[in-house]
Amino acid sequence: MADVEQNAAVPDGSSTGSDAVNGTAGRFVSSAEGTALAYGSLLLMALLPIFFGALRSVGCSKSKVTDSYLETLQMKECAKTMHVKIFSQEYINLLLSMYFFVLGVLALSHTMSPFMCRVFPANVPNKQYQLLFTQGSGEGKEEIVNYEFDTKDLICLGISSVVGVWYVLKKHWIANNLFGLAFALNGVELLHLNNVSTGCILLGGLFVYDVFWVFGTNVMVTVAKSFEAPIKLVFPQDLLEKGLDASNFAMLGLGDIVIPGIFIALLLRFDVSLKKNTRTYFYTSFLAYIFGLGLTIFVMHTFKHAQPALLYLVPACIGFPVLLALFKGELTEMFSAVFLEWRFMHETLQEMRAQQSNTSMFTQKKMMEKQRDRIKKTCKELLLYV
């Protein structure tokens, strides 16, 4: 879906970089120390959302990927491919800036929430709020939006809004990275795969997609250099020479983080479902990702040419855990398990039984209807994967 780009264009649209991974050329030649710092920083920034997003995905195992997230991904792809040759780049960048401002503020706020819960002073009152929209009246009243939040959420939203304004006004690479990391972490946490077979099919298809668009066309180059959007992580190679005003960037697309990341998070949940108190498959796939991304950077730096990261990440992230499962005799269990949703249904039924004794008959009826609808939806989705 994306590629690693060295000496990319500046996120604000100015282009001062040299020899790019996807084939562009320039004049600036970065120092060995600056190049090593940029590559190492990109590697570290790629690992953080995968590791913490995977851990948070376990606690978020009851959450299902919603249509809004799918629509978001579809709109990103649409903006990156279809509209590039239809509308002026200036108008597209303006639209994307506002679009990603809203998404970035929400994503960064959600990312900061667990940290804020830990550092929020105990002596400060944490007031609860509720945003409720309903349709109809009486017994036919239906909830459209029912969102509960508190003072900590408002603080996170305020801080995220400051970062958002900074990004819109300055397009600074640090603000770009904050939004990019938030998008990647939320993607790994919230986008769930139901089984390993589905994950292998997804990664296999995107493997072909990435190779074609990097080696077969120049679409990746155009997207990376033209659009001002936090769809990539960047780090300046001339940071040591120019400080925070550096303008010669190395780049890593978010697709090279989120796509393998949701598969690694799936393996972590598979580890949890085995109930062996080990994280063997998670750590194996995580190390495989480090190996694959390191190999991508090495080949890119050696041949000075565009390298689709999924070309190296997909075989590593799938091959290493599969070989481990084959060695441990758990290959069949790995590919046949639809563990996440069944555990969700079991926990849902337990919650229903636990709450029945503490609620009124009317509340019980409403609660059971809502839980029954969730279980029906889950069962329908399970039929697609079994």
Mean residue pLDDT across the chain: 77
CB 15 within 8 A of CB 227: no
* Residue 374 pLDDT greater than 90, yes or no: no
* Residue 346 pLDDT greater than 70, yes or no: no
Model pLDDT, residue 50: 95
Structure tokens at 294: 């390191």
Which range of 6-10, 167-171, 351-355 scores highest in mean pLDDT? It is 167-171
* Residue 61 pLDDT greater than 90, yes or no: no
Average pLDDT over residues 111-133: 87
Which of the residues 153, 210, 238, 271 is marked catalytic?
Answer: 210
67 classed as catalytic: no
Average pLDDT over residues 317-342: 82
Nearest-angstrom CA–CA distance, 337 and 253: 31
Which of the residues 3, 153, 238, 256 is marked catalytic?
Answer: 256
Output b/e per residue, 95-119; b: 16+ Cβ within 10 A: ebbeebbebbbbbbbbbbbeebeee
DSSP 8-class letter at 93: H
256 classed as catalytic: yes
SS3 361: helix
- The Cβ of residue 33 has, within 10 Å, a number of other Cβ atoms equal to 12
| Percent of the chain surpassing pLDDT 70 | 71
Size of the chain in residues: 386
CB 24 within 8 A of CB 255: no
Average pLDDT over residues 78-91: 54
Nearest-angstrom CA–CA distance, 212 and 197: 23
Q: Which of the pair, 275 or 104, is modelled with greater confidence?
A: 104
Structure tokens at 23: 């084939």
Q: Using alpha carbons, list the distances in angstroms from residue 386 to 110, 347, 380.
A: 32, 20, 10
- Please give the model's pTM, rounded to 2 decimal places: 0.75
